Amino acid sequence: MSLAALLDAGDGVSRAVAGLLLLMSVASWVIILWKSWLLFRAQGDVARSVAAFWQAGSRTEAALRVQAFDRDALVTPLLAAFEPPQGQTLAASADLSQQLTRVLRDALQQVMRRLQFGQVLLASVGSTAPFVGLLGTVWGIYHALVGLSGAGQFTLDKISGPVGEALLMTAAGLVVAIPAVLAYNILGRQVGQIEIALEGFALDLRELALTQPDRDA
């Protein structure tokens, strides 16, 4: 008997567990496909944007070059280091080194939040889906045994069928969890590589702004 037949024979709890597993699977695959495309494009864009910046003859030209390659605005926010806070504010009262550190740190955090979006969902699905499937299995076995108890006579063939069908829930939980765990690790590694590149560029920008704070276009 298939999983669909098991759900037809099950009660509301079994259907709720199956629906939750389906929802988790759809959500994780949407994140997997979207982030795979985003990070693949981002790795190339960051490398091209950084190279274009250093090949420019001025800051104005560099900003225009970066905008042409930075389709997801991952590098552009870091260029705010060239526009330190102005006016009579606490942010502007600090020395230039502190201002640059704060501006670049805030820009990096903003970019990394976007790159890390969906990682928590993948980790949650990967860690909880097997237990959700196990819950469905336990409940399915209980439901099957209760049904068999009304039949009056226990035989191995009457027990093995419903129990085997209930175990499909555990398999379904693993099918949902394994892609999420693999994607979390692979995509997390890609995010880490992009983060290293952005942090290195931010450090170079800070040094450039400190050594040439008033250089114009």
Across 194-206, average pLDDT: 92
Q: Rounded to the nearest 10 degrees, what angle do helices 156-166 and 119-149 cross at?
A: 160
pLDDT at 98: 80
pLDDT tier for residue 103 given thresholds of 50, 70 and 90? confident
The Cα–Cα gap between 154 and 131 comes to 29
The tokens describing 207, both together, are: 């040094």
Nearest to 165 by CA among 20, 16, 18: 18
Residues 142-164: tens digit of each pLDDT: 777 776 666 556 666 666 666 77
Q: Give DSSP secondary structure letters for 130-197.
A: HHHHHHHHHHHHHHHHHHHHTTS---HHHHHHHHHHHTHHHHHHHHHHHHHHHHHHHHHHHHHHHHHH
Across 175-198, average pLDDT: 95
Residues 128-142: tens digit of each pLDDT: 999 999 988 888 787
Across 201-207, average pLDDT: 89
Residues 76-90: tens digit of each pLDDT: 998 877 776 665 555
pLDDT at 217: 45
